[in-house]
Amino acid sequence: MARSSDARTKALATAERLFRIQGYAATGLTQIIDESGSPKGSFYFHFPGGKDALAAEVIDGYGARGRTLIEHLAEQTKGDASLFIRRLCMAFADEMRRSGFTLGCVVQNVGGEKAPLHPELTARLSQALGGWIDAIAVHLEACGYAAVEAAQHASVVIAALEGARTLARVQRDDTIFHAIAAVLTATTPAP
């Protein structure tokens, strides 16, 4: 069965990258089309809803992949909440370093421009965030956290990592991720 053209896929990947680096408003459709090498004429065939529809798909995909990463890490660190958090922080630090401190978070960048203006997109962003927090909370609970503390700690982990990306990009330094790992594992129960 023929899979749908890769024009869609390439446009989505390029848009995600540019949204993470430049944000939503600063990224023009022209730039997305040019850099993705995808054809210009059929953009509105693939994305009838235009730039917002593309952003919606980017958000969903980015959210799902983030959740998958978390679950993958959780499986590798069964029962050890401290190790899990450290691994998660290091994953963020690695990506940041490898990208030359250029990659931000789609949720943060798009949310910072659209949150109060575009309810539908904001709901999607909230879902992405919620998915990550849930996945972390599930694992923390499996590691011995009480339900309420697990959810609370999970949300703080995500908040800290989100903010850490801003710090790391602006300071061009990834030590903040180590700091978070240290502080947020200080109270974890022994595995």
Binding site for DNA (CB under 7 A): 1-5, 7, 27-31, 38-46, 48, 50-52
> Is residue 126 near a copy of itself by the rule CB under 8 A?
yes
Q: What does the alpha-carbon distance between residue 2 and residue 72 come to, in Å, rounded to a whole number? A: 30
For residue 30, the one-letter residue type is T
> Is residue 156 near a copy of itself by the rule CB under 8 A?
yes
| Contact (Cβ atoms closer than 8 angstroms) between residue 71 and residue 132 | no
Tell me which of 12, 56, 136, 180 binds a copy of itself, using CB under 8 A: 180
| Contact (Cβ atoms closer than 8 angstroms) between residue 24 and residue 109 | yes
Q: What does the alpha-carbon distance between residue 1 and residue 151 come to, in Å, rounded to a whole number? A: 43
The total of other beta-carbon atoms located within 10 Å of residue 145's CB is 19
Token pair of 54 as six digits: 């593309």
Tell me which of 22, 95, 97, 134 binds a copy of itself, using CB under 8 A: 22
Task: Point out which span in 1-9, 50-58, 74-82, 120-128 binds a copy of itself (CB under 8 A).
Answer: 120-128
Q: What does the alpha-carbon distance between residue 66 and residue 143 come to, in Å, rounded to a whole number? A: 20
Query: Cβ 9 to a copy of itself, closest distance in Å?
Result: 23
Binding site for a copy of itself (CB under 8 A): 21-26, 100-102, 104-105, 107-109, 111-113, 115-117, 122, 125-126, 129-130, 152-153, 155-156, 158-164, 166-167, 169-172, 176, 179-180, 182-184, 186-187
